[in-house]
Structure 1
Amino acid sequence: MYGQAPGRIENCQVAVFLTYATCTGYAVLDRALYLPQSWAGDPDRRDEAGVPEDVHCRTKPVLAQRLITDALDAGNPARWVAGDEVYGNDPKLRKALETHSVGYVLAISCSHRVTTATGKIRADILAAGLPKRAWQPRSASDGAKGPRIYDWAWIEIAGDDDKHTTGCRWLLVRRNQHSGELAFYRSWAPGPVTLAQLVKVAGRRWSIEENFQTAKGLTGLDQHQVRHWRSWHRWTLLAMLAYAFLSILAAGQRELERPSDGLIAFTRHEIRHLYAVLIQPAHTIRHRLHWSTWRRRHQHRARTSHYQRRSQLTP
């Protein structure tokens, strides 16, 4: 495949990844390589890249729906799904999640139209009429420099096809406390939930995206140099397995050995670093563990300082 970069065209692959997030860790469960129509309809390109005959052009929401359905059918429990605008704007994906009784908080564009008691209206226009009392400051997640606090509001909406469909629906709106910039989400749950719950699910997207970037850096998820369909799937599978291995070790270590005062818990970065020096030892194990402890203590001090500064700046 080819992607357009500033002033040039480069080789690239576009894929949909399914990340599983819990309170103890993250893992990449599955992936699907996107095949554009320009490739799907070109027999020569398909043969050269080894694309199977039964693979056709599918949109990213269609690929995501397949990945989620496969994961649920395999017995992976999930209460919520989060995603960006590409997925939030797709009604078929939202309907599939509702059919499986899986709640969602999916980003949508400002021009996305939602159904209210008075008819369909753009999300940004609906948000513009919110009174001051509708906004509540909430922390969506903890960042590297402290809680990510925004103003949030929610508005009850109806389904696109039937106002009497099951479940509860909301338009969730996020406002930056400094710039006033707005972000919008379509939300659904099988039953009543609190605003705090929806905000936490929306905040999972940041954590998932950060962990996805971590997988690229730690296990080379995006460092493949391949041009064949099978090779791409083999490489990403190995990278996903390696990332899951680090996640399991980090979660297990936190359960077995609580970090002492002044130290952060073992992270995937730290575990990978220790494995790297064990494979190619340049110093004694005691020396390496000493530096590991020093790094964890330094990171704890830095995080504590950032959180204290953020709490002082928060109104």
Structure 2
Amino acid sequence: MTNIPGGGADLDRWLAPFLSVMGRKTRRTWAPLYLRGLLGPGERKSLQPMAARLGLGSHDQLQHFIASTAWDDAPLWSVLAQQADKLVGGPQAWLVIDDTALPKKGTMSVGVLPQYCGQLGKKANCQSLVSLTLAQDEVPVPVGLRLFLPQEWTSDRERCVQAGVPETAMALRAKGEIALGELDRLTAAGVRFGTVLADAGYGASAAFRQGLDARGLRWAVGIPRNQKVYSAAVQLVPPAGRARKPIPNEQPVEAEKVLADLSWRRIAWRQGTKGALAARFAAARIRVGDGPIWGNNRHLPGDEAWLVGEWRSGGERKYYLSNLPADTSLQVLAAAIKARWVCEQAHQQLKQELGLGHFEGRSWTGLHRHALMSCIASAYLQHLRLAAHRRMRRGENAEPNAGPAAITKPARRAARHPRPAVQSPGHASPMSALPT
């Protein structure tokens, strides 16, 4: 990005709510500079290249700002949530939960370990972050990035201390548990959304699904094909013999078998650049086998839900659960399932344009603060994109002297995924005043 439309006074105005919660003047000076470093030109968004492009004598002050434990950045995350809600929040918005991995060399960076890396499509040395993205009308705004610590890290207290991991984060936590904690933080900040979306890495967990239910949320999540389910008509009956607890009057069945013989209907969820994006779908009302264990590791029926299958053009089948209402159409179910891919746009922009994976420090604080600033930068770009769209609708020019299309258009999708489908909804110093 060689030019930032409105990147001077407009950026300063947009950052005002963030800077108002930052306390000391030095932080209110260095935060806009760091953001300009992320938003500005250059392939590498690590500290030294950014400092050089900003005309700074060294990168020491940027390093101190981004990695210092002397100040709390929680208020900044809250302001980000509130600004994201203003941009795309509402009852028609999606909250997408996913992973994003940052390839890393060496063993000292916090949380790094050989684990699955989606960016490379294989197991590799990387850091894995739980990602939360608020989206509506194909406009994604990342609102949460929290590092997952593998057991090899949480079981090595000295290693965690050296990397600056807070005491509260040293306990082993599943990704679903981290996601639910971040979801609670966003809810407390007033973020509005209608449905939570997640892939099978989260949806396979009964604890995660039940955590969403306990919060009164609507959701649609991926599951493995062998997830056990019952028919919606299953009943608990008195057992034979001496057993006292009621048991189901039918055996649980794998999800793929339930849908195998149903009629699969072709559904297009949106128009792509090469025509309609479509696949075949089938759905059935079922009760999920995620209740208490009643024998031979079989679970009692849980709540009633939708079981949805997707049969892609290449022959691959995917399976999903959703607690959307019983009268929800197959078209709406399919649109909800496919809307999850909008987070890929956010991840791609964070990595390719804003340098999310370029941070070269090793600490917990540095990584999360760099991630925070990357998210704020992404939200600013979406602010520009939406402002340009409003001007176009009024028949005005999108932006005088507009910069690259990446600023006013969504990042191009990753090649391995279909385009996302999102339901439509009915005071910093200027750039020239660099501190010496």
Whether the TM-score (by the shorter chain) exceeds 0.5 is yes
- Superposed CA offset, 1:203-258 (max 9, x none): 11222223321221121122222211010011100100000000111012101223
Structure 2 gaps of 5+ residues are: 1-111, 235-249, 292-299, 413-436
Q: Which amino acid aligns with 2:142?
A: V
Residue equivalent to 2:374:
239
Residue equivalent to 1:112:
227
* 2:195/2:220 contact within 8 Å kept: yes
Q: Which amino acid aligns with 1:32?
A: R
Among 306, 311, 314, the alignment partner of 1:170 is: 306
* 1:218/1:269 contact within 8 Å kept: no
Residue equivalent to 1:285:
none
CA distance in 2, matches of 1:194, 1:269: 40
Larger radius of gyration: 2
Tell me how large the CA RMSD over aligned residues is.
Answer: 2.9
With over 3 angstroms needed to count, the CA separation of the structure-2 counterparts of 1:94 and 1:257, relative to structure 1, is same
With over 3 angstroms needed to count, the CA separation of the structure-2 counterparts of 1:256 and 1:171, relative to structure 1, is same
Q: Name whichever of 150-159 and 70-79 sits farther off.
A: 70-79
- Give the alignment's TM-score, normalised by structure 2: 0.55
CA distance in 2, matches of 1:54, 1:93: 20
Give identity over the alignment, percent: 26
CA distance in 2, matches of 1:154, 1:16: 29
With over 3 angstroms needed to count, the CA separation of the structure-2 counterparts of 1:42 and 1:158, relative to structure 1, is same
Question: Aligned runs of 1:1-315 on 2, under 5 Å?
Answer: 1-3=112-114, 11-23=125-137, 25-55=139-169, 56-116=171-231, 117=234, 118-130=250-262, 134-159=263-288, 160-161=290-291, 165=303, 169-177=305-313, 179-189=314-324, 192-258=327-393, 270=405, 272=407
* Number of equivalenced pairs: 263
- Superposed CA offset, 1:185-220 (max 9, x none): 011125632211111111112222233212211211
- Give the alignment's TM-score, normalised by structure 1: 0.75
With over 3 angstroms needed to count, the CA separation of the structure-2 counterparts of 1:18 and 1:272, relative to structure 1, is same
* 1:102/1:189 contact within 8 Å kept: no
CA deviation after TM superposition for structure 1 residue 102, in Å: 1.8
Structure 1 gaps of 5+ residues are: 274-295, 300-315
With over 3 angstroms needed to count, the CA separation of the structure-2 counterparts of 1:27 and 1:2, relative to structure 1, is same
With over 3 angstroms needed to count, the CA separation of the structure-2 counterparts of 1:128 and 1:191, relative to structure 1, is closer
CA deviation after TM superposition for structure 1 residue 74, in Å: 2.0
With over 3 angstroms needed to count, the CA separation of the structure-2 counterparts of 1:29 and 1:92, relative to structure 1, is same
- Superposed CA offset, 1:131-151 (max 9, x none): xxx221112344443332001
* 2:382/2:407 contact within 8 Å kept: no
CA distance in 2, matches of 1:175, 1:24: 23
CA deviation after TM superposition for structure 1 residue 129, in Å: 2.4
More RCO (CA 8 Å, sep 6+): 2
